[in-house]
Amino acid sequence: MIGTLTRETPVIVQGITGRMGRTHAALMRAYGTNIVGGTSGRTDIREAAGVPVFASCADAVMETGAIASVAMAPPGETLAAVQEALAAGIRLIVTVAEGVPLHDAIRIGRLTRRAGATWIGASTPGMAIPGVLKLGFLPDVCLRPGPLAIMTKSGTLSYEVGYRLAREGLGQSIWVGVGGDPVKGVRFADLLPTFFDDPRTRGIVLVGEVGGSEEEECADAYDRLGPRKPLYALVAGREAKEGVSMGHAGALVHGEVGSLASKHARLTAAGARAFDSIEQLIQACARDFRALKTG
């Protein structure tokens, strides 16, 4: 569903009356996202960030026709938020909280797959189709329409990549933060078919980090599907120590498993280009897509 989102896609914000909910609902609306309402357990608030507030997702969907949701719920309440959204018929759910309990995350994944819905998260800054909409809290200064799809585990590192691409006159077709928790809804490999099929996307930028096997899985999928579009990869964590989680819960190296060397080797063998620094990646993209710069 990610590639089919438009400026008209109706979106609700679960937890819109909280400080984060109000702030980011307003910012998403200002960007152009069609925020049509929100939900809250408070019965004394009927409006927030310029949109109506409903008592439940079911009420919100019935009144607005929303098909996507951004859940501004804390980790321990994320499962309940997703269950409510799915029961109301929401097809795309973005959950921003980091540290969703492992068993809850496993259950969320099972429930969304069974419902045929898409879950982005946990621990994600969200996603965007630059110039169209954003779901979450990606900084506007990093977003610019262009030919490169970005998929990332790291929010802050990808902000820098997006900002520098924009400064070079390049932008993004689709931007998805898959999240840094070990269990998540969308992984890098899941996004490759969407990016390959998207006519706006001419190249793919992967911003990963040490730990786990997600980058290796993506390399295998890229090799299997065929390198129809170039893949540029930057993996953070050169100085990561074995057995120590670096930032995200999933950024954990054991021996060679999940190491920088392992990820670079698998990505390169699959036909991707792996870089040691942001500057190297930006220079390669700028050189390869010079003809598509927008000034």
Tell me the catalytic residues: 248
CA 238, 229, 224, 178 dihedral sign is positive
- The partner residues of 175 in beta bridges, in order of sequence, read 128, 150
In degrees to the nearest 10, what's the CA dihedral of 56, 77, 3, 65? 0
Structure tokens at 98: 């980091």
Q: For residue 155, with 0-12 CB atoms within 10 Å meaning exposed, 13-18 middle and 19 or more buried, which class applies? A: buried
Kindly state the DSSP code that residue 277 receives in the 8-state scheme: S
Q: Please report where in the chains the tokens 């996202």 appear, as a residue.
A: 33
What span, in angstroms and rounded, lies between the C-alpha atoms of 88 and 62? Answer: 8
Q: What angle, 0 to 180 degrees and rounded to 10, lies between the N-to-C axes of helices 188-197 and 214-225?
A: 30
- The partner residues of 94 in beta bridges, in order of sequence, read 70, 120
